[in-house]
Amino acid sequence: MQTFLHGRDLIGDLDFSKEEVETVLDVAFDLKRKRALNEPTPYLRDKVLAMLFFFSSTRTRGSFEAGMAHLGGHAAFIESRTTQISHGDTPKEIGEIFGRYFDGISIRHVDWGVGNGYLNEVAKAARVPVLNMQCDVYHPFQCLADLMTIIEKKGRDLRRKKMVISWAYAASYQKPMSVPQSLILQMPRFGMDVVLAHPPEFRLMPGIMEQAQEQARKFNVGLEVVDDMDAAFKDADIIYAKSWGAMVHTPDAEEGAKIIKKYESWIMDERRMNLAKPDAIYMHPLPADRNIEVTDGVIDGPHSVVYDEAENRMHAQEAVMALTMS
């Protein structure tokens, strides 16, 4: 167990070593157990977390606010449009000033080509931990919750489990690619063979792919990229099917929307679910475009673990906050 995480930032998934992630999971499972037993966990009494949002949220805001309350502290919700950021407050100033007001700074900023750089600039200036509630490159807390959920459903020994991370059609908007990127970085470290399925235009960032391949080599697991959704799902243990945008192919929103339209057939449905193993689980970070991205029969069906996954966001986040902000 790696116990000294005090003061550490969590911006990218590889910021924490595999051993440190295991520590986070141990603490998260303990916090979940204590919540079930109604045991108090005031590890961050009188601590305050700034939650700076540049992008709307349901689970992220709710889970961080509830998590800080369970830990005995307070979370301050700050919508960027209600601040002076648009009138001149720089990332350095946010880091310097919020780092003096608060005991931790969490930020959600998913604008393509902007978000991750913003978080890192704030972190350079801040004297407190900076936590990534999602940027354009990474979504580390979602990934920790996903890993926690997989362990709950499939056990601690995940070696040779086949995890399929698949693109799926969604008409709402060009969604960030941070979820699949976090997954391909983290899951190979825990022994899973990862298959990434997507149409050609929906490739992930080349630098992230290189890092993921390096992790797969280091932990001696498979990392395969395919462009056939059906073939990918055969004999899968874990299916994680969601939409993301074609930003690497083109940052133009109109062009991206036209490309997305070409692949309406990439829907997660019961037929595809049945291609996986009988005890396979279906995962999604939510919100999903129902009956476009995934059918009701899958997301509400017996294979779905999406609500356990959403709950585990809170426990995983509490664990990181307790370890970094105490």
Burial (Cβ within 10 Å: 0-12, 13-18, ≥19) of residue 225: middle
Measured CA angle at 251 (ends 89, 15), to 5 deg: 60
- Mean pLDDT in consecutive groups of 10 residues from the start of the chain, 326 residues: 92 98 98 98 98 95 98 97 93 98 98 98 98 98 98 97 97 90 98 98 98 98 98 98 96 91 97 98 97 98 98 98 97
What pLDDT, on the 0 to 100 scale, is given for residue 162? 98
**Are 154 and 238 in contact, with CB atoms under 8 Å apart?**
yes
**Are 5 and 323 in contact, with CB atoms under 8 Å apart?**
yes
Q: How far is CA 174 from the centre of its chain?
A: 17
CA-to-CA dists, residue 308 to 149, 204, 303, angstroms: 7, 27, 12
- Under the phi-then-psi rule, with left for phi > 0, alpha for psi from -120 to 50, and beta for the rest, what region is 161? beta
What pLDDT, on the 0 to 100 scale, is given for residue 173? 77
What is the side-by-side strand order in the sheet with 74-79? 74-79, 48-53, 104-109, 130-135
Measured CA angle at 163 (ends 190, 279), to 5 deg: 110
What pLDDT, on the 0 to 100 scale, is given for residue 231? 97
pTM value > 0.85: yes
| Dist CA 6 CA 9 (whole Å) | 9
What pLDDT, on the 0 to 100 scale, is given for residue 291? 97
Full set of structural domains in the chain with CATH: 13-139+312-325 (3.40.50.1370), 141-309 (3.40.50.1370)
